[in-house]
């Protein structure tokens, strides 16, 4: 997006907040959330273009609060003041009519703070007409599939108390796979704010070396328990399960958390396991749905002990806790698992005989109260014997409890981390990602 | 809208071989109560236009939520520019025949408008559902929600298409979590958000509502003292609310032709099915008859036309166990040379159409529920999905359910908790031994079928009777 367009959007957003403050009754409070993007999406298959397009989208969510009741309306935000204000004013009136009909919400959180922030991260992305040649020309002889997503993403917040936040960032992600004729694949992500052609060429060149390892006939393994090395991308997948009914204080209180056992101290995890929220990388906004700022760092699990859960202001009010800036769903936004002592060169020797798992797929709780997770291996997973990669494996299903693989069976984390970017695009392009090491685990359970 | 769109399609000025504009306007409502207290009340409105152009055999798109002529023209220019650049590396030489001229209209059936209950009345009802769910102090969470949506789409094209569709949809979900010390069990009405249909507020006013709500609460508590599901190979009887997920994951997704062509390999995955399997592959037992059917009144993913304007018809995908055709749009059919269906669908105006499954139904057989159970010496009957996972080729799966009963000597006996089962897709469907009849055929739906790059969550519907599968690996929970 051009700088002029970006500043017009910001001006329009600010004007919306200011006008709502003027229009609101003294008994009313409101919050306004903004999400906007201008994104190019180009999808590849067999190193050719399957779909290519551009999406210009944006929405406002206006929440009105009065007499301990609230309701919201989400509506398009175009940046055209006349249209946007007309829509906003119509919904403001509709909310006023509705709100009196709703039941009292004893845990309603009113905006109270005085936080403001403004972050604009400019990037140097590929121009629209250079994306396809820049990507395809490097991979023409490969079975390359995936998606390039790039452009500006904006998140904004304002409220009736005068809090205001603006976060705009230029980013791209190239999320891709390289396939062998037999269907084995290497997975890669290339992401950032500045397109670096030589780094891209180098990355593909490294992937080609891994492809060579996949050329052997896949080995079919019987179900059983295997010592396993999980590369950082696989660890990131496992850690994201903690956002789904685990680290949330509300989930813990309402019988819906996989960490209830840990919280009750019925079990502990390995002292080598440390998890925290780390916003210092600055890739995601620190403000939440009430304009509150999370601390730059929040330890969650330290040396295997649950030291904090994610608590938003609503949960804090309901359960008499102290809020820590969590978002409305109390999910991880900037997770980091701290490194251990396993050196890169020691991964295969320490694994000795077992599985090298690069990626996982389709994880789900198979028994959430017991922390048991099922899922599949996927992409570049190998059978290792005596410290040497022997062959790629046929995909295996696992079903294992986090209390085992992050507990007694955890051998070590690597002494290096990788940043695994978020590449999701369901509602809009997601930002951020997780900073995680690889890990070595004893007796990981594979079932099919 | 028609006058603006016909004016726009006439005025769009790009040297493309074909131009289409699809406008979508949707307002959906979400009201959610937990433990009798409001958690969310609100509406989501979206409106925008998707412009597609065909240039040198390459399709390009641009989507915008500004609908003035200038913005639409600007979007068309971006779409054109992208398609032109990409055409040198296009995956296939698409033709206008993949975007035929179609004129028509579709409207969801309904009896009572979605606003026939005011927000206060809906909240009162949700509060009462929570209260009814709380049959015991052991219920630590009771939730209830109602979602509804009114969605309109208009599609015009430079070759004369004019399609209008209006969808009214309604969904309700309620459930309870029961806890006794370390034992935690969940029970919902047919699994997570499975009660999704097209229609109006009449869908809420079913005679059995309060009986079902009470039963959900009671069964959550019942599960606390139930035996763990045994680890055994046995006869598995699945209720329609679990068959929904079974059909979706192990039949719907592997038959998507775009997956077979490799488009989804980087995200959702590929398929164990290949192009040469159509017309040949014995997918399941001769009792297996699966249709793609967007014409079922009231099913969640019914429609008259797909999002490229192709007329929707009922087609057999699998007949008497043999694979007949795939879930592929005209684009995929042209690329693969395989028969498909009208299934090019987009989640909204801001996503391009891709192959999606719409309504996928297992056609009824001839057995009553009692007849199915009566002939089983030993087995497990499972209801309501709670966990799902399947590999990227849709081959090895593991699913878990909320509630189960042991079957002993032709009768349902003990309640079982944490029931799970796993198998491979062909082995499982070939073990289909009995298919229920119309009396136990039920349909469900979900708004959360995820796929595509960029990602799209879309509505799908699934109908099935109760089914018996022989010699399946079942097991329980635990650490």
B86 part of contact set with chain A, CB < 8 Å: yes
State residue A4's pLDDT score: 67
- Is residue A311 helix, strand or coil? coil
Residue of B82, B256, B386 for testing the chain A interface, max A β-carbons within 10 Å: B82
Report CB contact under 8 Å: B183, A369: yes
Distance in angstroms (rounded) separating the CA atoms of residues B213 and A262: 32
Mean pLDDT of A100-125: 95
- Could you tell me which of B475, B30, B139 has the C-alpha nearest to residue A71? B30
Instruction: Give the model's confidence band at A439: pLDDT under 50 very low, under 70 low, under 90 confident, else very high.
Output: very high
- Could you tell me which of A401, A105, A263 has the C-alpha nearest to residue B123? A105
Q: Select the residue of B45, B389, B477 nearest A367 (Cβ to Cβ).
A: B477
The 10s digit of each residue's pLDDT in A65-81 is 999 999 999 999 999 99
Instruction: Give the model's confidence band at A1: pLDDT under 50 very low, under 70 low, under 90 confident, else very high.
Output: low
A409 part of contact set with chain B, CB < 8 Å: no
Higher pLDDT, B335 or A216: B335
- CB contacts, 8 Å: B387 with chain A: 364-366, 374
Residue A368 CA from chain centroid, whole number: 21
**Which segments of chain B have a pLDDT < 70?**
none
A24 part of contact set with chain B, CB < 8 Å: no
Work out whether the CA dihedral A333, A334, A340, A346 comes out positive or negative.
positive
B479 part of contact set with chain A, CB < 8 Å: yes
- CB contacts, 8 Å: A404 with chain B: 479
- What is the predicted ipTM? 0.96
B274 part of contact set with chain A, CB < 8 Å: no
Q: To 5 degrees, how large is the angle CA A109–CA A37–CA A1?
A: 135
- CB contacts, 8 Å: B177 with chain A: 254-256
Distance in angstroms (rounded) separating the CA atoms of residues A11 and B279: 60
Query: C-alpha distances in angstroms, B390 versus A424, B149, B395?
Result: 19, 30, 7
Written as one string, the DSSP assignment of B442-475 is EEEEEEEEEETTTTEEEEEEEEE--EEEEEEEEE
State residue A3's pLDDT score: 62
State residue B137's pLDDT score: 97
Bridge partners, B27 (sequence order): B45, B150
Distance in angstroms (rounded) separating the CA atoms of residues B383 and B191: 8
Running DSSP on this structure, what letter comes out for residue B11? H
Q: Give the A window 34-63 contacts with B, CB below 8 Å.
A: 39-43, 45-59, 61, 63
**Quick one: which H or E segment has residue B213?**
helix B209-224
Does residue A2 register a pLDDT over 90? no
Does residue A385 register a pLDDT over 90? yes
- Could you tell me which of B45, B9, B75 has the C-alpha nearest to residue A55? B75
Distance in angstroms (rounded) separating the CA atoms of residues B303 and B296: 9
Backbone angles phi, psi at B217, to 5 degrees: -60, -45
Count of beta carbons in the 10 Å neighbourhood of residue B366: 12
The 10s digit of each residue's pLDDT in A320-361 is 999 999 999 999 999 999 999 999 999 999 999 999 999 999
Distance in angstroms (rounded) separating the CA atoms of residues B408 and B139: 30
Report CB contact under 8 Å: A49, B86: yes
Q: What would the two tokens of residue B428 be?
A: 């499982």
Written as one string, the DSSP assignment of A370-418 is GTEEEEEEESS-EEEETTEEEEEB---EEEEEHHIIIIITEEEEEEEEE
A182 part of contact set with chain B, CB < 8 Å: no
Report CB contact under 8 Å: A376, B389: yes
- Is residue B457 helix, strand or coil? strand
The 10s digit of each residue's pLDDT in B376-408 is 999 999 999 999 999 999 999 999 999 999 999
User: What percentage of chain A carries pLDDT values higher than 70?
Assistant: 99
Q: Give the B window 378-417 contacts with A, CB below 8 Å.
A: 387-393, 396, 398, 400
The 10s digit of each residue's pLDDT in A218-258 is 999 999 999 999 999 999 999 999 999 999 999 999 999 99
- CB contacts, 8 Å: B115 with chain A: none
Query: C-alpha distances in angstroms, B194 versus A366, B303, B437, B444?
Result: 19, 19, 21, 6
- Pairing status of strand A48-66 against strand B58-64: parallel
State residue A6's pLDDT score: 80
Beta strands in A129-218 (DSSP E): 143-159, 164-179, 185-192
Q: What b-and-e string marks burial along B331-344, b requiring 16 or more CB atoms within 10 Å of the CB?
A: bbbbbbebebbbbb
Distance in angstroms (rounded) separating the CA atoms of residues B72 and B163: 19
Running DSSP on this structure, what letter comes out for residue A125? P
- CB contacts, 8 Å: A58 with chain B: 65
State residue A313's pLDDT score: 98
B27 part of contact set with chain A, CB < 8 Å: no
Residue B286 CA from chain centroid, whole number: 25
Distance in angstroms (rounded) separating the CA atoms of residues A371 and A377: 19
The 10s digit of each residue's pLDDT in B200-225 is 999 988 889 999 999 999 999 999 99
Does residue A109 register a pLDDT over 70? yes
Q: What would the two tokens of residue B394 be?
A: 């849709």
């Amino acid at each position: 997006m051009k700088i002029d367009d970006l500043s017009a959007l910001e001006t329009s957003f600010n004007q919306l907040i200011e006008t709502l403050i003027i229009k609101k009754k003294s008994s009313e409070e409101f919050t306004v959330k903004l999400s906007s993007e201008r994104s190019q999406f180009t999808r590849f298959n067999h190193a050719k273009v399957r779909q290519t397009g551009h999406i210009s989208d944006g929405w406002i969510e206006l929440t009105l609060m009065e007499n301990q009741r609230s309701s919201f309306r989400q509506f398009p935000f175009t940046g055209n003041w006349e249209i946007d204000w007309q829509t906003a004013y119509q919904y403001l009136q509709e909310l006023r009519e509705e709100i009196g009909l709703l039941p009292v919400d004893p845990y309603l959180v009113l905006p109270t703070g005085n936080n403001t922030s403004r972050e604009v991260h400019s990037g140097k992305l590929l121009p629209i007409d250079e994306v396809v040649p820049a990507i395809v020309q490097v991979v023409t002889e490969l079975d390359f599939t995936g998606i390039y997503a790039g452009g500006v993403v904006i998140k904004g917040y304002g409220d009736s108390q005068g809090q205001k936040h603006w976060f705009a960032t230029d980013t791209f992600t190239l999320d891709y796979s390289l396939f062998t004729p037999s269907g084995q694949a290497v997975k890669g992500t290339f992401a950032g704010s500045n397109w670096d052609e030589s780094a891209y060429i180098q990355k593909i060149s490294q992937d080609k070396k891994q492809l060579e390892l996949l050329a052997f006939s896949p080995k079919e393994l019987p179900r059983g328990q295997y010592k396993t090395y999980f590369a950082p991308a696989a660890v990131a997948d496992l850690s994201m399960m903690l956002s789904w009914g685990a680290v949330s204080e509300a989930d813990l209180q309402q019988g819906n958390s996989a960490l209830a056992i840990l919280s009750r101290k019925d079990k502990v995890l390995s002292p080598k396991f440390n998890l925290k929220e780390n916003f210092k990388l600055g890739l995601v906004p620190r403000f939440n749905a009430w304009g509150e700022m999370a601390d730059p760092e929040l330890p969650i699990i330290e040396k295997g002990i649950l030291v904090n859960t994610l608590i938003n202001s609503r949960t804090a009010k309901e359960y008499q806790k102290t809020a820590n800036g969590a978002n409305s769903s109390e999910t991880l936004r900037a997770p980091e698992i701290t490194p251990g002592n396993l050196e890169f060169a020691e991964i295969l020797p320490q694994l000795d005989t077992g599985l090298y798992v690069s990626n996982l797929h389709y994880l789900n709780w198979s028994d959430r109260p017991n922390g048991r997770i099922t899922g599949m291996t996927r992409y570049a997973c190998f059978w290792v014997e005596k410290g040497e990669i022997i062959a790629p494996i046929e995909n295996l299903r696992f079903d294992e409890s986090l209390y085992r693989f992050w507990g007694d069976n955890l051998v070590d984390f690597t002494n290096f981390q990788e940043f695994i970017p978020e590449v999701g695009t369901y509602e809009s392009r997601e930002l951020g990602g997780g900073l995680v090491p690889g890990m070595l685990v004893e007796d990981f359970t594979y079932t099919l | 809208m028609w006058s603006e769109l016909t004016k726009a399609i006439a005025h769009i000025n790009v040297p493309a071989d074909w131009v289409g504009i699809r406008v979508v306007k949707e307002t959906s409502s979400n009201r959610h109560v937990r433990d009798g207290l409001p958690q969310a009340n609100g509406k989501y409105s979206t409106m925008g236009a998707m412009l597609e152009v065909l240039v040198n055999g390459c399709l390009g798109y641009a989507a915008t939520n500004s609908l003035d002529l200038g913005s639409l023209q600007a979007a068309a220019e971006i779409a054109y520019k992208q398609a032109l650049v990409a055409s040198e590396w296009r995956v296939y030489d698409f033709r206008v025949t993949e975007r035929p001229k179609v004129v028509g209209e579709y409207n969801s059936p309904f009896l009572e408008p979605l606003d026939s209950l005011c927000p206060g009345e809906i909240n009162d009802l949700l509060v009462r559902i929570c209260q009814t769910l709380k049959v015991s102090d052991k219920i630590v969470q009771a939730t209830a929600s109602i979602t509804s949506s009114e969605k309109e789409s208009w599609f015009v094209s430079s070759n004369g298409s004019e399609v209008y569709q209006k969808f009214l949809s309604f969904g309700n979900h309620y459930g309870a979590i029961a806890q006794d010390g370390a034992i935690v069990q969940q029970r919902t009405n047919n699994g997570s958000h499975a009660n999704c249909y097209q229609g109006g507020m009449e869908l809420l006013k079913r005679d059995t509502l309060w009986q079902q709500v009470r039963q959900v609460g009671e069964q959550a508590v019942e599960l606390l003292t139930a035996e763990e599901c045994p680890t055994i190979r046995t006869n598995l009887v699945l209720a329609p609310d679990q068959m929904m997920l079974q059909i979706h994951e192990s039949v719907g997704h592997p038959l998507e032709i775009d997956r077979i062509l490799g488009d989804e390999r980087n995200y959702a995955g590929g398929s164990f099915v290949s192009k040469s399997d159509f017309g040949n592959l014995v997918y399941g037992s001769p009792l297996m008859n699966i249709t793609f059917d967007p014409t079922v009144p009231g099913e969640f993913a019914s429609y008259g036309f797909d999002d490229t304007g192709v007329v929707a018809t009922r087609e057999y995908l699998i007949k008497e166990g043999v694979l007949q055709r795939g879930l592929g749009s005209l684009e995929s059919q042209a690329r693969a040379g395989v028969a498909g269906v009208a299934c090019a669908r987009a989640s909204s105006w801001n996503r391009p159409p891709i192959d999606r499954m719409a309504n996928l139904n297992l056609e009824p057989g001839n057995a009553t529920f009692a007849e199915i159970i009566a002939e089983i010496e030993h087995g497990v009957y499972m209801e309501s999905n709670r966990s799902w996972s399947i590999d990227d080729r849709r081959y090895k799966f593991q699913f878990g359910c909320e509630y189960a009963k042991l079957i002993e000597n032709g009768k349902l006996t003990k309640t079982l908790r944490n029931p799970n089962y796993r198998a491979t897709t062909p082995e499982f469907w070939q073990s289909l031994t009995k298919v229920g009849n119309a009396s136990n055929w039920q349909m469900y739906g979900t708004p959360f079928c995820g796929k595509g790059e960029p990602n799209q969550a879309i509505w799908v519907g699934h109908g099935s009777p109760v089914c018996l599968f022989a010699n399946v690996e079942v097991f329980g929970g635990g650490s």
